[in-house]
Structures are given as structure tokens and as C-alpha cells.
Amino acid sequence: MAFFKFKIESYKVTSYQYSTWDFTNEIKVLSEVMPFGARYSAQLIFEKDNSYQSDNRLGYVKLPPASKPGSITEIVVECNKENFPGFYQILSTEKPVYLFIAYEDKLATKPANSHFIFQMQLSTDTELPGDFEK
């Protein structure tokens, strides 16, 4: 098992529907710049059907070569549609917000050079009761 946690610098929300699909919400988050200029970019897709959950997986993480400074780690997570309001509320009302990803050590073949994600958490720092960001 491997994992990482990063502070979210910004996010973008998109809602869309195609003629043959159910309504889908998507949140894209970008980390702060990490050492050596690296960043994490995560796409959280909230839809009715999740192609990864049948395998007890949430999505995948595609790590760039370690020798490539300034690179972006690509993360795709398929979330339950019902969880969108909670995730959006945390992102829009709290700060700072962190994303934690735990993934398998073993390389997956699809997509190539990726690792399957089995846990994701969106969290804040420890706060005092009744504390609400202004």
C-alpha cells in the first residue's frame, strides 16, 4: 500500500448530462506546488454507475517518472453520486482542505502505468466547535 495527502489550492465544479447518460457532477482539484515544482491534479467524478467499484476500487493514480521535476500526478476517482453535496460543501465552506489517496503498490495495466485507488478522504484541519471560516 502507498498513499499521499495534499493541500488543495483550487477546485472547479462542472455538472453535465449527455443525451444517453444520467446527470453527472465533477470536481477537479489542484494541489499547491510541492517540492521540486510537482503538483497533484485530481478529477472526482460523481455519477450513478461506477466502473471501478465492482472490483472494490475507486479509480486510479498515474504517477509521473520520479526524474521529472515539475510534473503533475494524475488522479481519477469515481465517487457515488449521492456524495457530491457533502464534498462540495466541504470545499466551498472550509479551509484548508486536504485530499488523501491510498493506492495499491502493484502496477495496473489499464490505464498503463497506473495504480488502483482503494481509499480517498477529503478532510480539514482540526477545528474548534462553532468555528466557521470567513
Comparing 45-49, 52-56, 59-63, 117-121, the range with the smallest average pLDDT is 52-56
Query: Rounded to 5 degrees, what are φ and ψ at 82?
Result: -70, -20
Comparing 60-69, 111-120, 122-131, the range with the smallest average pLDDT is 60-69
pTM equals 0.83
Query: Rounded to 5 degrees, what are φ and ψ at 87?
Result: -65, -45
**Terminus-to-terminus CA distance in the chain, angstroms?**
38
Q: Enumerate the domain spans of the chain.
A: 2-124
